[in-house]
Amino acid sequence: MIKPRALSGFPEYLPAQQLAFNRVLSIIRATYEAHGFTPIETSGVEHRDVLTAKGGDDAEIYALTRLNAGPDERETDLALHFDLSVPLARYVAQNESQLVFPFQRSQIQKVWRGERPQAGRYREFYQADIDVIGRGSLSLMYDAVLPAVVSEALTQLDIGPFCIRINNRQVLQGYFEGLGLAPAAVPQALRILDRLEKVGIDRVRADLTTTFCLNEETLSPLLDLATAGLASEAVLAELEGQTVNAVFDAGVADLQRVLSGLRDLGVPDSNFQLDLSVARGLGYYTGTVYETRLLAFPGLGSICSGGRYENLVGNFHTGAFPGVGMSIGVSRLVPALLEAGLLGVSAATTAQVLVTLLQPEFQGEALRLGAELRAQGVNTEVYLEPHRLGQQLRYADRKGFRLAVMVGQTELQAGQVRVKDLQTGEETVVGRAQWAHDLRRRL
Amino acid sequence: MIKPRALSGFPEYLPAQQLAFNRVLSIIRATYEAHGFTPIETSGVEHRDVLTAKGGDDAEIYALTRLNAGPDERETDLALHFDLSVPLARYVAQNESQLVFPFQRSQIQKVWRGERPQAGRYREFYQADIDVIGRGSLSLMYDAVLPAVVSEALTQLDIGPFCIRINNRQVLQGYFEGLGLAPAAVPQALRILDRLEKVGIDRVRADLTTTFCLNEETLSPLLDLATAGLASEAVLAELEGQTVNAVFDAGVADLQRVLSGLRDLGVPDSNFQLDLSVARGLGYYTGTVYETRLLAFPGLGSICSGGRYENLVGNFHTGAFPGVGMSIGVSRLVPALLEAGLLGVSAATTAQVLVTLLQPEFQGEALRLGAELRAQGVNTEVYLEPHRLGQQLRYADRKGFRLAVMVGQTELQAGQVRVKDLQTGEETVVGRAQWAHDLRRRL
């Protein structure tokens, strides 16, 4: 006998919570599809060299071995993907001649991280990605489209106020180069800046000054702006007033166009903000970068991040395929929403109606009633165990059906069906002829 | 530079085919949900001892190691699930006190088999399962409900005629025991019988007679019936006329009730058949067993199999949890349907309308038009690259949009929008005020 136990870092849900999770995925998927982000799915498994191609990335990876093979055959060169960006790059490089560019794709899948088990760390989780990939070039306007789509998805989810924080790495790159840092040293500065929210401004200032022997004052124009809490327009005006270098100016100009694009796209000002502290740790972002906070959940971290990259498929293809992408971390988002009661969790069934059975001999009639309801588009289950009505109604209550239909001799002889509203307890009797149609209208 | 290459056994699709695949999954999912089979999802990863608990099962399993960990930490006790039945058993045993029984669940997920790479063998594939699990007991009527749900799903898919072949292992068990086989020897006889379609009746007869020292004639009542091609009712009548033993009689009675239940459920006679050669290799089936063939694809094998098991969670729990389940092998089904042209593969986009751009300065207006259409429920993409109209329309054609909307100075000044039907080539001009509403009605 083996004790079944939960696997830490591999989240699972009971049926009611699973339905809430699925609704979140459906809303995100529908919003992505409404904008023409067409779903693809890549295998969960890649060649190891594909996953480790990027080199700098030290993601924890699960490699696969064949448990039941002989010792010589056990090792494979396969591993589980740890994000959806590397698989996208491989997919685009592999299928380039058959894809149509700009390639707008969505991808909602599980990914795995081979981490040491640790509280709060997911080892299996869902990501819901959108990216647009261009061949040769890609309009900057897509950098505004992506947060607009995410803003719409989060609005549809109805999970409270949120803010998509937007920055441009060229602004930071230009700024730090302007302070005398070698271009190759800038990523380290960005990683320090990226921790601003976590460790605070004083620590970031100290780390930057000591690591790069910088004068505190030269950092002020950036750090003061990053923490002043000004509106996007005010930050932009400040940036436009600074004289740094061409890289900086290009970044500021792009930021300005992206923010203005977001307004053209009808995204409310409250849903996004220019935030100079957003740097993103990942090396491959080259322009616009995003992070997203739910305002009621400051401790949750970013629930949707991403950015612009100039060289998606560089490890797999000689062509230039710039792109921009964002990724919603669904598996981290949903538990927080469930805990806060922000997702409706009511039923543990996809059916609205339960057909119960007062006498076993009317099972055939119960099955026919169920089929009639389903033909009207009403999801319906028929209870088939020979239990008393009380137990059947308890089952209906516990699973959260809306209505119970009762079939017994009295009703059948009178050409009627009895219907119980499980929320109000009210019972009504409807005629057999039009009943399925009537019921559908009540739901 | 790493050459991106397809992984044999890990199927992937281009966008248009992926959309067709997703439609198949959606139809199956919707049918399952209409009957109250509520979706759950288990982690793709289980403890190894959970996966290997069944002992007799020699499924090829992928074990996980942590690629980037130190030598002492690399090995884990984790592995990828190879089906959805073992995870279901573990899930039910683990969550038993919080589930409501009968537990009707659906589960549509990928599973992995750690096989040697081989043409035609999938190493990653989708299964779409439904099961009903009882606590203590489970009505035999569920053995009719399951094929009825599958019959409805396959009918909805509109992929040609199919036949769900139904048998009961007690019939076979009783028959072989009646011939003098020890109960423990019967599984081997069933595995021989199960190969009837593959190797032919003569080979099966020879294998059974030599393996068990049986007289050919004692096998005739079974093998003749299994190959006579009689209608279910005729086979049933023959079985009912035979005197064997109590196990046999119980199996025949159950078969009779399941077939009659299928008729109560409104399943057309052409969609199912009693077939005595269906034995199923897996050891845990104890009663009803199913296999399903698409009549136009005799070489495809069973696309949906399953059966009744009396002891789902035996390795994990002391309680009795009988169940019955079926599983559609979606990843094997879809490629055959695609190849035969039985799935509509037209568009490589989820959007119906592409808003094109005649002059870059009207980008804002194009974005507003797109938002208006989406607000009417029309999936719409806005083309944002500064390309000529010809290139934009080629993009729309290649991706399979239904309509292209054109925004230019002339139209804007006249308060109009130009719309091109990409199937007929016809162009019309509609007024700006009601246009989104009009367009929705045309689609």
The percentage of residues in chain A with a pLDDT greater than 90, rounded to a whole number, is 79
**Dist. CA A421–CA A404, nearest whole Å:** 7
pLDDT in tens, A137-191: 999 999 999 999 999 999 999 999 999 999 999 999 999 999 999 999 999 999 9
- Provide the CATH number for the domain around residue B221: 3.30.930.10
DSSP secondary structure letters along A74-115: SEEEEEE-SSSHHHHHHHHHHHGGGS-SSEEEEEEEEEE--P
B110 and B240 share a domain?
yes
By Cβ distance, the residue of A22, A37, A67 closest to B79 is A67
Q: Does B93 touch chain A (CB under 8 A)?
A: yes
**Dist. CA B166–CA B172, nearest whole Å:** 12
Which of the listed residues A311, A339, A367 is the one where a domain comes to its end?
A339
Residue B224 lies in a domain: yes
Residue A4 lies in a domain: no
Which of the listed residues A339, A364, A383 is the one where a domain comes to its end?
A339
Q: Which two tokens stand for residue B157?
A: 């898919």
Check pLDDT > 90 for residue A45: yes
A387 and A321 share a domain?
no
Residue A3 lies in a domain: no
Check pLDDT > 90 for residue A434: no
pLDDT, residue B68, reads 84
pLDDT grade for B282, boundaries at 50, 70 and 90: low
**Dist. CA A59–CA A54, nearest whole Å:** 10
Q: Are B384 and A139 in contact (CB under 8 A)?
A: yes
Hey, is B393 helix, strand or coil? Answer: helix
Q: List chain A residues with CB under 8 Å of B59.
A: 68
pLDDT, residue B274, reads 97
Contacts of B251 (CB under 8 A, 6+ apart): B168, B169, B170, B171, B172, B173, B174, B287
End-to-end CA distance of chain A: 46
- In order of A365, B73, B264, the CA distances from A384 in angstroms are 12, 51, 13
Q: Are A35 and B351 in contact (CB under 8 A)?
A: yes
A73 and A19 share a domain?
yes
Q: Are A316 and B13 within 8 A, CB to CB?
A: no
Q: What number is the average pLDDT over the span B43-49? A: 96
Check pLDDT > 80 for residue B372: yes
Q: How many CA atoms lie within 13 A of A363 on its CB side?
A: 20
A94 and A169 share a domain?
yes
pLDDT in tens, B330-359: 999 999 999 999 998 989 999 999 999 988
Hey, is B317 helix, strand or coil? Answer: coil
Residue B3 lies in a domain: no
B168 sits in which H/E element: strand B162-168
Note every long-range contact of A25-30, with CB atoms under 8 Å and residues 24 or more positions apart, other chains counting.
Answer: A25/A108, A25/A126, A25/A128, A25/A330, A27/A153, A27/A156, A27/A157, A28/A108, A28/A128, A28/A153, A28/A157, A28/A328, A28/A330, A29/A106, A29/A108, A29/A128, A30/A156
B271 and B361 share a domain?
no
Q: Does B70 touch chain A (CB under 8 A)?
A: no
Query: Hey, which residues does B167 pair with through a beta bridge?
Result: B289
pLDDT grade for B56, boundaries at 50, 70 and 90: very low
Instruction: Look over chain B and give the mean of its residue pLDDT values, rounded to a whole number.
Output: 93
Residue B348 lies in a domain: no
Which of the listed residues A270, A305, A339 is the one where a domain comes to its end?
A339
pLDDT, residue A258, reads 97
pLDDT in tens, B131-156: 999 999 999 999 999 999 999 999 99
Residue B415 lies in a domain: yes
Q: Which two tokens stand for residue A58?
A: 């030290």
pLDDT, residue B412, reads 87
Q: Are A43 and B67 within 8 A, CB to CB?
A: no
Q: Are A45 and B266 within 8 A, CB to CB?
A: no
- Provide the CATH number for the domain around residue A411: 3.40.50.800
**Dist. CA B315–CA B53, nearest whole Å:** 6
| Selection from A79, A146, A135 nearest residue A106 by Cα | A146
pLDDT, residue A282, reads 66
pLDDT in tens, B264-274: 899 999 999 99
B375 and B324 share a domain?
no
Q: Are A259 and A251 in contact (CB under 8 A)?
A: no
The whole domain housing A60 covers 15-339
Instruction: Look over chain A and give the mean of its residue pLDDT values, rounded to a whole number.
Output: 93
Residue A83 lies in a domain: yes
Binding-face residues of A in 121-160 toward B, CB within 8 A? 123-124, 134, 137-139, 141-142, 145
B274 and B360 share a domain?
no
Check pLDDT > 90 for residue A242: yes
pLDDT, residue A432, reads 86
The total domain count for chain A is 2
pLDDT, residue B17, reads 97
A187 and A158 share a domain?
yes
Q: How many CA atoms lie within 13 A of A182 on its CB side?
A: 3
B211 and B74 share a domain?
yes
Check pLDDT > 90 for residue A59: no
A258 and A391 share a domain?
no
**Dist. CA A304–CA A150, nearest whole Å:** 8
A300 and A370 share a domain?
no
Residue A2 lies in a domain: no
B395 and B280 share a domain?
no
Check pLDDT > 90 for residue A23: yes
Check pLDDT > 50 for residue A56: no
By Cβ distance, the residue of B36, B61, B367 closest to A68 is B61
> Can you tell me the ipTM of this complex?
0.95
Rg (alpha carbons) of chain A, rounded to whole number: 28
Which residue is associated with the tokens 């399993």?
Answer: B61
Check pLDDT > 60 for residue A284: yes
Q: Which two tokens stand for residue B78?
A: 């984790």
